[in-house]
Amino acid sequence: MSMTLKEMKNYLRVDSTEDDTLIRNLIYSAERLCLDVLRADSTKVLYDSKYGRAAVMYAVNYMYEHRTEADYRALTLSLRAMLFGSRKEAF
């Protein structure tokens, strides 16, 4: 089950509708980033993994809080550490 705008706004503690479009876009970007880290094609695989939901929430929170100076390398390394156990092997 995909992350909803309502769940993410609750997690971010955002009450206004001003940033709804931004948050929706961040959810999509975070899901894509997590899927790339997992080496998966389906969001079902992402959300079925043990820490998939937490990884998406972490990524959205990071991108929302660091809109101007985000370190995407550090974010990717953190996500890789979170999702390592569910990551598809590739050589």
Q: Is the pLDDT of residue 30 over 90?
A: yes
The residue among 76, 14, 63, 61 whose CA lies nearest residue 53 is 61
At 41-58, the pLDDT tens digits run 999 999 998 899 999 999
pLDDT at 61 > cutoff 80 = yes
Within a domain: 26 = yes
Report how many domains make up the chain.
1
- The answer to whether residue 12 is domain-embedded is yes
With respect to residue 73, please indicate whether it lies within any of the assigned structural domains: yes
Q: Domain range holding 66?
A: 5-86
Is residue 91 assigned to a domain?
no
Which pLDDT does position 90 carry in this prediction?
A: 67
* Residue 50, in any domain of the structure: yes
Average pLDDT, the chain: 92
